[in-house]
Amino acid sequence: MKQFFTKDKQIESIIRNINITKTLYLSSLIVGEPYIGKKTLAIYLFPNATIVDGKSDDLNSVIASNEEIIIINFEKIKNIDSLDLSNKRVIATTSYISNEKLIDEKFSFIYQMPSLIEREADMNILIDRFIIEAKSNLMVQDDIKLNYKKFDLDNNSKSLRKSIYKQLVYLSIKDDEVETILYDFLYNRFDGDDIYRKFLYLYERPLIMAGLKKFKSQLKLSSILGINRNTLRKKINELELN
Amino acid sequence: MNSNLIDFEYFIETDNNPFILFNQSKRIVYLNHSAEILLAYVSKGELYDIALLNASSTFGFKTKIMDLKYGVFAFYAINVAYKDENLISIRLYKKPIIQNSQKLKQESLMTTDINTLLEANISLFKMSNSVKLNLLTDTAMPNFKVDQAQLSKLIKKSLELFKNNSSIMITLKIVVGEYIIINDKKEKLIALSFEAKKRDKDDNTLQNIANSNYIAIVLKDNLIRFNIPFIQDNIKQ
């Protein structure tokens, strides 16, 4: 059975409410941003329901021939007006509501599911799960401390997962792997003249940026890097790091 | 035949129009069955005052055309009669009921636990409102057949119309003595009411949904009441 982990009060209320209506023949709609767990929640609540995509050409026939249905991507349905959801147990998911009046006619219960950034407790559960998953998939065994502030929540769980994988890769990477990456990158770009100067920024830019962040002083950094202060200033201007 | 020997009371008792006989101290001396039901919606004092206000100037009777609406009842005229100082009667003439042109369809009716339907809507309402809800219901209410989506809409809409109150009283009970004829079959009624100090208005929406489902509706400034057909067997088609 599909599990749904949440500590969010709003989602707990949605679960409680849909559980109450389970014996009734009513349609419910879950509205919320993409990748916040709407489909997982629907499957958790109706594990035996037939799942159909709003984009599917068979939508009407699937609805007609089943009693319990999950409709995902409801916003993609072209002709909502023609849908007959009466006396069915329907749970639909959508990213937005385009025609409020029509949606109100079709659905008895409409729930707003909060995005991930609004669900701090859920976010921490997901982060822990994604880190375990990423470490397993990337075969990372070191105890690497990730920077939570750098996690990307713009696209909810999708961008969060991606940013965790990225950080794990970046933080666990070895010198020879950086070399390999650069090798592949440069090999495919050997085109034209002045290649040395053209790609020097790949080394200089992160080096100076990291140094400036660490030492906060151009004078100190120039000394550490072993280059002239004026040379460093010139590089900073060229690389637009001001 | 000597009319003195005829028992007129039986014929008045079974009259569909409410009939009430008051004595001079405003007390009801007699009322027929229809009037008994009417008194669930209007006080006897109000009817007595109407009788007095519209009585003929001398002993006799007077029929007056007037629009009166009490709950689910609508009247188009009254007749007030008195032949001495002791007794005065009022008879209220019901407006003809327009036959609902939409027949209820068997396939749209699903066996329903109304308490569950109510609980689900209350739970949804509580998710975005902090209004205190007082619920007086019969938890042993038998299941009955109703269009769940339509009744759910009426409940949801009613709660929304009362959301600007500090508390809402919700009452669910079986109505005694009143019936509705659906597809030529007499059905009992369940009364579901929402009451608070004030409410927002969207009466047309409520009336349209209620009418198409044979649900009678009473709309007051502080109250919405639905008389829902208590259908337990299959309806005639």
Digitized pLDDT (tens) for each residue of chain A, 242 residues in all: 677 889 999 999 999 999 999 999 999 999 999 999 999 999 999 999 999 999 999 999 999 999 999 999 999 998 898 899 988 999 999 999 988 889 998 999 999 999 999 998 899 999 999 999 999 999 888 788 898 888 999 999 999 999 999 999 999 888 999 999 999 999 988 888 888 989 999 999 999 999 999 999 999 999 999 999 999 999 999 998 87
Give the domain range for residue A199: 175-238
In a domain, A161, yes or no: yes
Same domain, A91 and A64: yes
Mean pLDDT of B161-188: 88
| Tokens matching residue A70 | 């999950």
Query: Do A140 and A188 fall within a single domain?
Result: no
Chain B residue with CA closest to A109: the answer is B124
How far apart are the two ends of chain A, measured CA to CA in Å? 55
The DSSP annotation for A3-38 comes to ------HHHHHHHHHHHHGGGS--EEEEE--TTSSH
Residues in chain B: 237
Residue B235 lies in a domain: no
Q: What is the pLDDT of residue B120?
A: 93
Would you state the pLDDT for residue B98?
61
Q: A137 pairs with which residues across the strands?
A: none
**Boundary residue ending a domain (B66, B94, B122):** B94
Tell whether B236 is covered by a domain: no
Task: Note whether B113 and B226 are same-domain residues.
Answer: yes
Pair B70, B185 in one domain: no
| Strands (E) located in A89-147 | 89-94, 109-112
Do B89 and B124 lie in one domain? The reply is no
Nearest chain B alpha carbon to A11? B127
Sign of CA dihedral B35, B39, B45, B46: negative
| Residue B77 and residue B111 in one domain | no
Asked if B181 and B156 sit in the same domain, the reply is yes
- In a domain? residue B101: no
In a shared domain, residues A158 and A182:
no
Residues A103 and A123 in one domain: no
Range of the domain at B56: 3-94
Asked if residue A202 and residue A152 are part of one domain, the reply reads: no
Q: What is the pLDDT of residues B116-134, one digit of tens each?
A: 999 999 999 999 999 999 9
Q: Could you tell me if residue B62 is inside a domain?
A: yes
Bridge partners, residue B189, by sequence? B175, B229
The answer to whether B42 and B52 have CB atoms below 8 angstroms apart is no
Domain boundary (B40, B59, B94) is at: B94
Residue B7: what residue type? D
Q: Is B114 helix (H, G, I), strand (E, B) or coil?
A: helix
Domain final position from A64, A86, A114:
A114
Query: What value does the mean pLDDT take over residues B165-192?
Result: 88
If pLDDT is split at 50, 70 and 90, which confidence band does B185 have?
Answer: confident
Q: Are residues B111 and B83 in the same domain?
A: no
- A-interface mutation test, from B111, B113, B152, B206, most A Cβ less than 10 A away: B152
Q: B201 or B136: which carries more pLDDT confidence?
A: B136
Among chain A residues, the shortest Cα distance to B155 is held by: A108
A contacts of B124 (beta carbons < 8 Å): 17, 109, 111
Tell if the CB–CB gap between A13 and B120 is shorter than 8 Å.
Answer: no
Query: Residue A2 falls within a domain, yes or no?
Result: no
Same domain, A110 and A134: no
- Spatial CA neighbour of B235 closest among B176, B177, B184, B190: B184
Are residues B112 and B190 located together in one domain of the fold?
A: yes
Residue A1 in contact with residue A7, Cβ under 8 Å?
no
Domain count of the fold of chain B: 2
**Nearest residue, CB atoms, A109 vs list B108, B112, B124:** B124
Same-domain status, A128 and A164: yes
Clarify whether residues A163 and A189 are in a common domain: no
User: How many structural domains comprise chain A?
Assistant: 3
Interface of B with A (CB under 8 A): 107-108, 110, 112-113, 116-117, 119-120, 123-124, 126-127, 147-149, 152-153, 156
In a domain, B50, yes or no: yes
Question: How far is the C-alpha of B170 from the C-alpha of B122, rounded, in Å?
Answer: 10
A103 and A16, same structural domain?
yes
**Residues of chain A with C-beta less than 8 angstroms from the C-beta of B156:** 108
pLDDT at B101: 63
Residue A4 within any structural domain of the chain: no
Residues of chain A neighbouring B126 (CB-CB closer than 8 A): 13
Q: Are B68 and B74 in contact (CB under 8 A)?
A: yes
Residue of A19, A20, A103 to mutate, testing the B interface (most B Cβ within 10 Å of its Cβ): A20
**Residues B120 and B183 both lie in one domain:** yes
Q: B174 and B116, same structural domain?
A: yes
Decide if B100 is inside a domain: no
Question: Do residues B25 and B74 share a domain?
Answer: yes
- Whether residues B30 and B83 fall in one domain: yes
**pLDDT for position B118:** 95
Tell me which of A97, A114, A131 is where a domain ends: A114
Query: B114 with B40, same domain?
Result: no
Residues A75, A39 share a domain: yes
The answer to whether residue B190 sits within a structural domain is yes
Cβ contact A26–B152 (<8 Å): yes
This model of the complex carries an ipTM of 0.72
Q: Rounded mean pLDDT of B21-49?
A: 92
- In angstroms, what separates the C-alpha of A103 from chain B's closest C-alpha? 12
The verdict on A81 and A165 lying in the same domain is: no
Residue B70 CB partners (closer than 8 Å, separation 6+): B38, B41, B42
A110 → chain B, closest CA residue: B124
pTM above 0.90, yes or no: no
Give per-residue pLDDT as tens, B209-226: 998 888 989 899 999 999
Give B106 to chain A, closest Cα distance, Å: 12
We report the CATH number of the domain holding residue B56 as 3.30.450.20
Our CA-based measurement puts residue A127 at a distance from the nearest CA of chain B, in whole angstroms, of 27
| Together in a domain, A22 and A80 | yes
Is the pLDDT at B232 greater than 60? The verdict is yes
